[in-house]
Amino acid sequence: MRKNIKIAILTTARSDFGLLKRVIRHAAERFNVDLLVAGSHFLRSRGETIHEIEFEFAACPNIKIVPFDAMDGAATPSAQVSTLAHTQLLVSSWLERNRYDLLLFLGDRWELWGVTLAAFMHGVPLAHISGGEITEGVIDDSVRHAHTKIAGLHFAATTDYARNLSLMGEEDWRISVVGECGLDQIHDSEIASPEEVREKFGIDFSRDIILVTFHPSTLDCQTSVSEQIGAVLKSLSAFPRYQIIFTAPGVEQGAETVLEAIRHYVAEHANATLVDHFGNRNYLAVMQRAKVVVGNSSSGLVEASSFGVPAVNIGQRQKNRLAADSVQHVSYSAIEIRTAVERALTADFQQHARTCLNPYDPYRDGKNSLRIVDALEYALTALPRERLRIKKFDTRVMPEQWNYLLKERA
């Protein structure tokens, strides 16, 4: 381990933590790691996942958990701004006393700004996972692209997304094509057993499952959030013999509207269940055994296809994001949604889904997280710190320069 190198890895929500677990563990074998925990991890309504993080890494001597508990649980613009402001002040104070060689983070959640902007202003080099992706129906798209411009290293899932980064003016040597790191868990079967899930959540795996993960899509200006979730719930009423399992949305505008509608539906339908927080291992266990994933979560596009499970993607939230052929895209029409689910449940489509390749897993070797850490190690040991921070705007697309940080290690 390189004791002279200290990095920070950021998690702000249950969604990114599950994807980052392998990256965190691999990084702790090479560097001293501070795990910066912010955002919704402290909210009781979202499972207080800070405790899951503490349990996960309690026995890891090279990982120090640093909490920034500043989340306002209300999903309003004022509450979100308040969360960011308070988090930035806490992080800025911390960075005045603690030096990092780099901050690594994943994705596109608005909560990231509480830490990343403070780190940027303190001169900490930033490395971004999952840049270049497209989700035009939600503000996450803008958050993701904005982080591309302040990050000095990029870990893209696919060559399509690497090209997007290059077209945004990012120098190609900074871009590594690594696959989605969260898929490593699926390769290594780091998933809860049916017995564990049944004991914790009362889910009956002897019954066919429809897994529903739906978030408000606030940039779908033609369709209100209540109409969005209303269409989903109306369509699901056509499947009374299936066990319908809902998960809760993240903390974002419109989330309470979605939650209220789901709770009302569950109260009136004996075959429906709402689980506020599964935890990553349990969620993947349910997905693996589901007949179809319904909603607009990235997990329906990214993880479901690795299990060979069909997905029905609803609305514009994931618009123009890559997807396997096992994913059907529909509008906010109850009839369209129901028809797509019916098709997904047919024996032919179930078989088809098992043959579809996942575009987010180009190497299919379970080493996506390791590639990220390999590239980080080379960048932090062979390149001057200034080279990570001082960027040129270069719109030439030179794929031969992608994976420079990985080729140098080969």
Whether 1 has a pLDDT exceeding 70, the answer reads no
As given in the structure block, the two tokens for residue 378 are: 């080379």
| Continuous H helices in 105-245 | 113-121, 140-150, 159-167, 184-187, 194-201, 225-236
pLDDT band with cut points at 50, 70 and 90 for residue 251: confident
* In-domain check, residue 403: yes
* In-domain check, residue 379: yes
Asked if residue 217 and residue 92 are part of one domain, the reply reads no
Nearest to 126 by CA among 154, 103, 147: 103
* In-domain check, residue 34: yes
Q: Which CATH number covers residue 273?
A: 3.40.50.2000
As given in the structure block, the two tokens for residue 33 are: 């790691």
Q: Provide the number of structural domains found in the chain.
A: 2
Domain end (from 355, 375, 394)? 355
Q: What is the mean pLDDT of the chain?
A: 95
Domain end (from 355, 380, 397)? 355
> What is the distance of C-alpha 120 from the center of its chain?
22
Whether 409 has a pLDDT exceeding 80, the answer reads no
Domain end (from 355, 374, 398)? 355
In whole angstroms, give the CA distance from residue 341 to residue 294.
8
Asked if residue 75 and residue 210 are part of one domain, the reply reads no
User: What single DSSP character describes residue 170?
Assistant: -
Whether 300 has a pLDDT exceeding 80, the answer reads yes
Give the model confidence (pLDDT) of 203-220 as tens digits: 999 999 999 999 998 777
Burial 243-269 (b: 16+ CB within 10 A, else e): bbbbbbbbbbbbbbbbbebbeebbeee
Asked if residue 176 and residue 47 are part of one domain, the reply reads yes
Q: Which domain holds residue 102?
A: 6-186+366-407
pLDDT band with cut points at 50, 70 and 90 for residue 74: confident
* In-domain check, residue 360: no
User: What single DSSP character describes residue 156?
Assistant: E
* In-domain check, residue 1: no
pLDDT band with cut points at 50, 70 and 90 for residue 410: low
* In-domain check, residue 361: no
Asked if residue 14 and residue 140 are part of one domain, the reply reads yes
Asked if residue 164 and residue 78 are part of one domain, the reply reads yes
pLDDT band with cut points at 50, 70 and 90 for residue 270: very high
Asked if residue 375 and residue 346 are part of one domain, the reply reads no
Asked if residue 153 and residue 70 are part of one domain, the reply reads yes
Asked if residue 261 and residue 205 are part of one domain, the reply reads yes
Q: What percent of the chain has pLDDT over 70?
A: 99
Asked if residue 161 and residue 213 are part of one domain, the reply reads no
Asked if residue 349 and residue 219 are part of one domain, the reply reads yes
pLDDT band with cut points at 50, 70 and 90 for residue 137: confident
3-state secondary structure 43-88: CHHHCCCHHHHHHHCCCCCCEEEEECCCCCCCCCHHHHHHHHHHHH
* In-domain check, residue 161: yes
Give the model confidence (pLDDT) of 258-267 as tens digits: 999 999 999 9
Whether 127 has a pLDDT exceeding 80, the answer reads yes
Asked if residue 133 and residue 233 are part of one domain, the reply reads no
* Average pLDDT, integer, range 42-47: 88
Pairing of strands 6-11, 32-37: parallel
From the CB of residue 128, how many other CB atoms can be counted at a distance below 10 Å? Answer: 28
* In-domain check, residue 393: yes
In whole angstroms, give the CA distance from residue 308 to residue 222.
33
Asked if residue 251 and residue 148 are part of one domain, the reply reads no
